Amino acid sequence: MTECPECAASVESHDKIVGEIFPCRECGTELEVNAVEPFGVQPAPHEAEDWGE
Amino acid sequence: MNVAVVGGSGFVGGELVRLLLGHPEVTVRQVTSDSMAGQPLARAHPNLRRATPLLFSRRSELQPAEVTFLATPHGEAMGQAPELLATGGTVVDLSADHRLKDGAEYPRYYHREHPHPELLAEAVYGLPELHRDALRRARLIAVPGCIATAAILALRPLAGDPARPGLRAVVDAKSGSSASGRDAGPAGLHAERSGVMRAYAPTGHRHTAEIEQETGVPIALSCHGVEAVRGVLATVHLLGASPLPDRELWKTYRAAYGPEPFVRVVHDADGIHREPEPKILAGTNFCDVGFASDPAHERTVLLAALDNLGKGAAGAAVQCLNVRYGWPETTGLGFLGLHPV
């Protein structure tokens, strides 16, 4: 168990492996597993979009 | 439980009857409308065709009910509530007539004296997220205004923060045409309303009073009509105070609304629907709230979206009914909305 670095929601490991990318259930941020023991995540790199704004 | 709806031919009344007809604990015994007396409910609300054999009755024919909902224009409920309360029933007022605690605010915002200011102290403001305990004992429930509900739910988690004394806010609200009611007048004509983006109340909107009453925050409210039938989006700007980072805002809003069945925190990192928007909330009782931190400009932006006829009126009334009578708060309010819509 750890926290999402963006929204502080609880994030559970559920046998995830290093490098696995998954979305935070609360804020939707793509998280990348950077450690399993102890379990740790960081925001996954992604290409920026401008959404035409 | 037997309930009656007074003023059932309007948009709010129709939405309320729709919800009550689907409520497993409730039997709708009577729906009044002097202008449509003797006609089937579907004449005003075609979505209710074959849903009920009821005909509109006259207000003078109203029978005592355990709960009477007042979906009447502003100014009418304040004269009717004492008589209904005297029958021993509960009154749920969907108009503005019992929302304000200070009777002196009625001449200022509604241009009339309140004939029964003694009831203002007793009336419970019908926002379960703020007044759930009081609602359980209420005889008279005042359902909040639609824009007020959005602004209050956006502001409230930060309003009581002792680290932010002197908080002030600018509230920019957009609403759909149904918020102005069934008898909207020339401003509601298709030729006038279609495609509109109209600042109909850049200052002086009457919901200002109840937002300040419930949050304790002085606000500057500007209201706009936009091209939609249902929906309210309130954008609240907190200026001049050090904004909390998003992570702290998440914690604050999660703490405030985590257990709430109808308030959802929406601030997604990705996707189309990243912030609250009213379109997907049509017909639901949800209020989605969100936020964004703008430290470069010492600004925090708060957002809230809802259906003005749902959480902004009829849905809120049913939620209050559920709280008042100890039923699960979501009873009769399970609709999740449509997408796409």
Q: By percentage, how much of chain B surpasses pLDDT 70?
A: 100
- Mean pLDDT in residue range B131-145: 98
Token digits for B306?
Answer: 């809802």
pLDDT at A6: 94
The secondary structure of residue A5, as a DSSP letter, is T
Q: Which residues of B touch A (CB under 8 A)?
A: 246-247, 250-251, 254, 265, 267-271, 274
Task: Output the CA torsion B94→B98→B100→B101 (10° steps).
Answer: -150
Res A49 pLDDT > 80: no
More confident residue, B232 or B241: B232
- Mean pLDDT in residue range B1-13: 97
pLDDT, mean over chain A? 88
Token digits for B296?
Answer: 């470069």
All structural domains of chain B, each given as residue ranges with its CATH number in brackets, are 2-144+310-324 (3.40.50.720), 146-306 (3.30.360.10)
pLDDT at B108: 94
pLDDT band at A48 (very low <50, low <70, confident <90, very high): low
Can you tell me whether residue B30 is helix, strand or coil?
strand
The DSSP line for B192-257 is HHTT-EEEEESS--THHHHHHHHH---EEEEEEEES-SS-EEEEEEEESSPPPPHHHHHHHHHHHH
Cβ atoms of residues B220 and B151 within 8 Å: no
Among B250, B270, B271, beta carbon nearest to A7: B250
d(CA B108, CA B18): 34
Cα–Cα separations (whole angstroms), residue A8 to A41, B136, B302, B303: 12, 34, 19, 20
Res A47 pLDDT > 70: no
- A26–B247 C-beta distance less than 8 A: no
Can you tell me whether residue B278 is helix, strand or coil?
coil
Res A51 pLDDT > 70: no
pLDDT band at B45 (very low <50, low <70, confident <90, very high): very high
- Which backbone phi and psi does B221 adopt, to 5 degrees? -105, 130
Token digits for B148?
Answer: 């007020």
- Show residues of chain B in contact with A27, CB under 8 Å: 250, 267-269
pLDDT at B162: 74
- B254–A29 C-beta distance less than 8 A: no
Give the tens place of pLDDT for each residue, B154-213.
Answer: 999 999 777 777 889 999 999 999 887 777 688 888 888 899 999 999 999 999 999 999
Cβ atoms of residues A18 and A35 within 8 Å: yes
pLDDT at B183: 72
pLDDT at A28: 92
Among A7, A26, A28, beta carbon nearest to B270: A28
pLDDT at B190: 87
Which ipTM score applies to this complex?
0.74
- Among residues B24, B39, B38, B28, the alpha carbon closest in space to that of B6 is found at B28
CA atoms within 13 A on the CB side of B198: 15
pLDDT, mean over chain B? 95
Kindly tell me the number of DSSP H helices and DSSP E strands found in chain A.
0, 5
Cα–Cα separations (whole angstroms), residue A42 to A14, A25, A31, A49, B193: 16, 14, 6, 20, 48
pLDDT at B92: 98
Res B15 pLDDT > 70: yes
Res B121 pLDDT > 90: yes
User: For the ranges A35-39, B85-89, B183-187, B195-199, which has the lowest average pLDDT?
Assistant: B183-187
Res B98 pLDDT > 80: yes
pLDDT at B163: 73
Task: Report the largest interatomic distance among the alpha carbons of chain B, rounded to a whole angstrom.
Answer: 62
The residues near B120 (Cβ < 8 Å, ≥ 6 apart) are B98, B100, B101, B102, B103, B114
- A5–B267 C-beta distance less than 8 A: no
Res A11 pLDDT > 60: yes
User: For the ranges B29-43, B60-74, B190-204, which has the lowest average pLDDT?
Assistant: B190-204
d(CA A14, CA A11): 9
Q: Which helix (H) or strand (E) holds B69?
A: strand B67-70
Say if strands B90-93 and B27-32 run parallel, antiparallel, or are unpaired. Answer: unpaired
pLDDT at B245: 92
d(CA B29, CA B20): 11
Query: How many Cβ atoms sit within 10 Å of the Cβ of residue A42?
Result: 11
d(CA B146, CA B11): 13
pLDDT at A41: 96
Nearest residue of B to residue A47 by CA position? B270
Find the angle CA(B81)-CA(B82)-CA(B85) to the nearest 5 degrees.
80
Q: How far is CA B312 from the centre of its chain?
A: 2
Quote the minimal CA–CA distance from A45 to chain B in Å. 12
Most confident of A44-48, B72-76, B282-286: B282-286
pLDDT at B198: 93
Partners of B299 in the beta sheet? B239, B294
More confident residue, B107 or A53: B107
d(CA B72, CA B261): 28
